Structure 1
Amino acid sequence: MSEDWFRVANDGHITLTLHIQPGAKKTEIAGRHGDALKIRLAAPPVDGKANEALLRFVAETLGLAKSAVLLKSGQTSRRKVLEVTGATAAAVARLVAD
């Protein structure tokens, strides 16, 4: 299973490449955006609130604890890279299908 917006490492960690739209009306997955998955966040991009909301949303969507999702890069950018522990590639791929 190969999607260009996520990669599965040998150790089981999954890396997600995301394009974030903060300040949206509601938090939702908006489909593909080039080589990234676009997520709209209701949280504003102020004081790390959007990043916190993103980590919480991804964890809840995948049925994981928030501690299983780590922001690897893009703290102040719309393009973010997350590392997920404990999810399957199939579960991550379903984010686009749902």
Structure 2
Amino acid sequence: MISPCRLGNDHLLLAVRLTPNGGRNAFDGVDVSADGLAHLKARVSAVPEKGKANKALIALLSKSLKIPKSLISVVSGDTARQKILRIDGDPEDLKSKIDALAAI
């Protein structure tokens, strides 16, 4: 399986495809787009206005990874479905947790 993660020295970059108004807050595995890039599929029940869906995504990731929300930030794709998130911390540890989420 292709990983949606890119490891840095003290952080991890995570590619996400977010579905707002998804009815529930959950992860739906990993998908590979036409250009061959993998992304974690996530859905949140929040609406895509004034950053509510992004906040819900960060809260869902924070809870799932058991890390503070302050360690997660949106690097690109603020208003798009495709996003890149930066998650500060031990990249190897974070990658193993995300791979476990992606396997659901």
Aligned-pair CA distance for 1:90: 1.1
Secondary structure of the 2:29 match is strand
Secondary structure of the 1:95 match is helix
Partner residue, 2:43: 40
Partners in 2 of 1:93 and 1:86 — Cα distance?
16
Instruction: Report the count of equivalent residues.
Output: 96
In structure 1, stretches of 5+ residues that fail to align are none
Secondary structure of the 2:46 match is coil
Partner residue, 2:17: 19
Quote the sequence identity (%). 29
In structure 2, stretches of 5+ residues that fail to align are 33-37
Partners in 2 of 1:4 and 1:22 — Cα distance?
22
Partners in 2 of 1:95 and 1:3 — Cα distance?
14
Secondary structure of the 1:80 match is strand
Q: Is the 8 A contact 2:3 2:99 kept in 1?
A: no
TM-score, length of structure 2 as denominator length: 0.85
TM-score, length of structure 1 as denominator length: 0.90
Partner residue, 2:99: 93
In the alignment, is residue 57 of structure 1 matched against residue 56 of structure 2?
Answer: no
Partners in 2 of 1:17 and 1:60 — Cα distance?
18
Aligned-pair CA distance for 1:68: 0.7
**Aligned partner letter, 1:24:** G
Aligned-pair CA distance for 1:86: 2.1
Partners in 1 of 2:2 and 2:11 — Cα distance?
15
Runs of 4+ residues over 3 Å off in structure 1: none
Greater length-normalized contact order (CA 8 Å, ≥ 6 residues apart) = 2
Q: Is the 8 A contact 1:64 1:86 kept in 2?
A: no
Partner residue, 1:70: 73
Partners in 2 of 1:47 and 1:33 — Cα distance?
27
